[in-house]
Structure 1
Amino acid sequence: MTGRLVRLTWVQPEDLVGHELRQAVEDGRSGEVAAIAARWHAAGGHDAPPRAGASPEPPPPRLRALAVELLDELAAIPSPLPEPSDLDSIAAGAPGNSERRPSPGNAAGDGLRERLLGAWLGRAAGCVLGKPVEKIPREGIRRIAEATGNWPIRGWFTAAGLPDDVAARWPWNRRSAVNSLAENVDGVPEDDDLNFPLLALSLLERYGRDFTTADVAAIWLDELPAGRVFTAERVAYRNLLGGVEPPHTATRHNPFREWIGALIRADVYGWVNPGDPRTAAEFAWRDARLSHTANGVYGAMMVAAMCAWSLVAQSDDLASAVDEVVAAGLSVVPAESRLARAVRDAVADARSEPDFERVVDRLYERHGGLHWVHTINNAALIAAALTHGRGDFTASIAGAVAAGWDTDSAGATVGSIAGGLLGASGVPREWVLKNRLASSVGGFDGIGFDELTHRTLALGAQR
């Protein structure tokens, strides 16, 4: 009797080759890997699946063996780009800003509690808004929203009134539609974009502010179910189980090392370092290097720095506060990296173009060839949505989700930063979910945002 196949996503060698070949084009190795690509295709190898995590059928054994061989050959070819992954070299290429200091009284007491609660609430709201449309392209998201009277997006997605032909053409994310539509959302459903902040909180509580990358690995193995990680994290997890030591876990057969996974793990490192983007970025680097390199690491460092500054920026002029936050993020990453250039271009467009849809058009012109969960395109989108939103919470998270890349991740990060700027009282009530968060991370299922805020404050007080 033949059973159903288990096609574990994001780890099959025959799929990783296509992703690594695309990564090679992005990081300047296209000439060096052309012969390898030709060998792969001549043997019957396929390109990377465009949106799915695995091709539907396993290959012949000879093709899988060739895939493993080619992955090793590809790993031996270094990128020529000046995009380092070690902390000292990153710092040397980052512009920095020694004058960045929190305003007196802005990062203490009830004001900080209010801002932290806003950040937690905002992250949850942006994540849940993006969940049901994850993997749906930009065109489909707009069509769904228009068909249900929600364009421009100003509320949760809904299946109520959605025409059958639109629903068939653009099906909801099957795992999320059951708990993240207006008619069924009840508290905050589980999501990796929320699991990772909880894990970072647990990491800091267990190991303190001097935690190491090895500590990050240990808490993953102790508390994070392997089936709840994806892309670079799943490869790094597999590498850990195979006895690979960090930071080599980030590079062995890992073509996703510049994708968005490390970026979504960074918020807490900013929240426990309010007003201190450099330390926040260093914390994020220690975490990110377990699974990511280069721009994948820079995205995490940038977001941690932005989150740190969002808690202390003066909120009487929100547009200026957003500019400060973005500047704090750029201050900690190499100025000539692809990520920094993409963010600067996105911010310039967002400042000059009144129609955010045209801003997104330009993002697609520049970055449309990247995978929908790559760091560079999503980091640029995050900065653009914040800049164009000018402190308007709804406009900011809606812009991040409507763009159609990593909808729940970009929405969550934008919501976190906007919520940190505005504070809990500034997050519109229609976006505040029940004080209950589901999670598969040990000890956190059912936790409330009030407790999360209290625990985050306690960690920040240890500075």
Structure 2
Amino acid sequence: MLRLTWVQPEDLIGHELHQAAQDGRESDTIAARWHAAGGPPAPLRAGASPTPASPYLRALATDLLDELADLPGELANHEPTELASVMTRCPDWPARQPDPPAAGDGSTPTAAPEASEAPGASPAVAVPRLEAAWLGRAVGCLLGKPVEKLPLRGIRALAKATGNWPLHTWFTARGLPAELTAAYPWNRRSASTSLAENIDGMPEDDDLNYPLLNLLLLQRHGRGFTTADVARLWLEELPAGRTFTAERVAYRNLLAGVEPPHTAHHHNPFREWIGALIRADVHGWTNPGDPAAAAAQAHRDATLTHTANGVYAAMFTAATVAEAATGRSDIHACLRTGLTVVPPASRLAKAVHHAVRLAHSTVDFEKVVDVLHTTYGDYHWVHALPNTALIAAALTHADGDFTGSVCRAVSGGWDTDSNGATAGSVAGLLAGAPDALPERWTTPLKNRLATSLTDFNGIGFDTLAQLTHRETRHP
């Protein structure tokens, strides 16, 4: 029997019950009905429960998902999704920078170094800085791939057993005791392409597919794209099997005729998970010095699949990246900029503030991670809230250093490849150029990225930087 992951009602209901408890909906009666009927809890790490549900349970799960959707949530007022409502709750929302002049209006766009920009202007971003960002995203993702889905204790045990703790280089199976291999098996989809002994270019991953898609989005529709444009692009270019969690549910909803932004709501318990965050970098890369524009673009992208904190995570990331792309701010200023586009009363803002304070005050990053896991351990390992907090803590604790940032982000567990990718993108921007990144990270990538997306398979990071740069020069 074909077992589809992330879309079957009997697998969604447990996650929706968990989501309801987190956003203040009174769902105890519905939960009791589900469990009394023999309904299983949500799968802990996989996208599908181990055994198929009966037709009765599947029908019941569908009905209960509809009932849960109608329950009011006590946090809705503090955590809106509509952009206008988000902006009114952000007292320090950044001023929007004017668009750069369009070609043909008498002005010639320039790729001059950032330092030559006039004070207060929205600065250009140099091609080498964008290449470092693409490389950084790939490095961080690849570092986290083999340990994705492993518990924190497993990540630490594997690294320590091979002399790689604190984490400072690629994971390896060489010299690993057999009992550890059995106790903490590498991610089966990634082990053959992401360990030190077998890396040969950057393998395909959704953490790179989505930036490629958003680059294609800007090429086709410009920065005025709509959420419907995002949806059409996905249906045209993104294989359904390359989607997961909220993105897979939204994709299914589109095929069922559900229109955006309802695609983010309908039977989608993953709407506050990390998927929108991993799509946000391009919006920041192409709006250097304009975090408001970056956040607005990220919002239009994110609302195809996400709501509330899932959307804020994308906006926070885009705004942080937009400030980092200028080359004029340190990591701490970049993170403060990111927080200006997140409602201060939201759970995401509070978690990021907590993580940053913790990273500033704690010397040992293992202790930072332990506190974060204790505080936010009730959230799913793919949820945006704990992962965004960990990314902010890693960048803060490493003071923006590239190796320190990606290694801390991955060593902190949860969604390791996504966290490493975002930390690597930001730290790569701060580094400023590919040759500022250690060769042990960049050489194995061989300037080659694999993907199932049209016309991008095998593309080099230098070419991606050039293509991205073009999209920063047009309104």
Q: 4+ runs of 1 displaced by more than 4 Å?
A: 97-104, 106-109
Q: List gaps (5 residues or longer) in structure 2.
A: 98-113
Equivalence map 1:29-428=2 (5 Å):
29=25, 32-81=26-75, 82-98=78-94, 105=117, 112-314=126-328, 321-424=330-433, 425-428=435-438
For residue 179 of structure 1, give the secondary structure of its aligned residue in structure 2.
helix
Instruction: Determine if contact 1:7/1:56 at 8 Å carries over to the other structure.
Output: no
Residues 97-128 of structure 1, C-alpha deviations (whole Å, 9 max, x = no match) = 5479897529756x622211111110000000
- The one-letter code sitting in structure 2 at the alignment partner of 1:416 is S
Count of residue correspondences: 451
Relative to structure 1, is the Cα distance of residues 423 and 103 closer, same or farther in structure 2, using a 3 angstrom cutoff? closer
Displacement of 1:380 after TM fit? 0.3
- The one-letter code sitting in structure 1 at the alignment partner of 2:261 is P
- The one-letter code sitting in structure 2 at the alignment partner of 1:436 is R
- The one-letter code sitting in structure 2 at the alignment partner of 1:301 is M
- The one-letter code sitting in structure 2 at the alignment partner of 1:441 is L
Distance 1:10 1:311 in 2: 35
Distance 1:249 1:310 in 2: 32
Identical aligned pairs, as a percentage?
62
Distance 1:142 1:455 in 2: 38
Q: List gaps (5 residues or longer) in structure 1.
A: 316-320
Instruction: Determine if contact 1:118/1:420 at 8 Å carries over to the other structure.
Output: yes
Distance 2:55 2:46 in 1: 22
Distance 1:108 1:313 in 2: 9
- The one-letter code sitting in structure 1 at the alignment partner of 2:50 is P
Instruction: Give the alignment partner of residue 460 of structure 2, picking from 448, 451, 455.
Output: 448
Instruction: Determine if contact 1:16/1:254 at 8 Å carries over to the other structure.
Output: yes
Residues 407-440 of structure 1, C-alpha deviations (whole Å, 9 max, x = no match) = 0000000000000111123211111121000001
Instruction: Determine if contact 2:80/2:308 at 8 Å carries over to the other structure.
Output: yes
For residue 58 of structure 2, give the secondary structure of its aligned residue in structure 1.
helix
Displacement of 1:153 after TM fit? 1.0
Distance 2:289 2:115 in 1: 8
Partner of 1:437: 449
For residue 92 of structure 2, give the secondary structure of its aligned residue in structure 1.
coil
TM-score if structure 1 supplies the norm length? 0.95
RMSD: 1.4
Instruction: Determine if contact 1:250/1:293 at 8 Å carries over to the other structure.
Output: yes
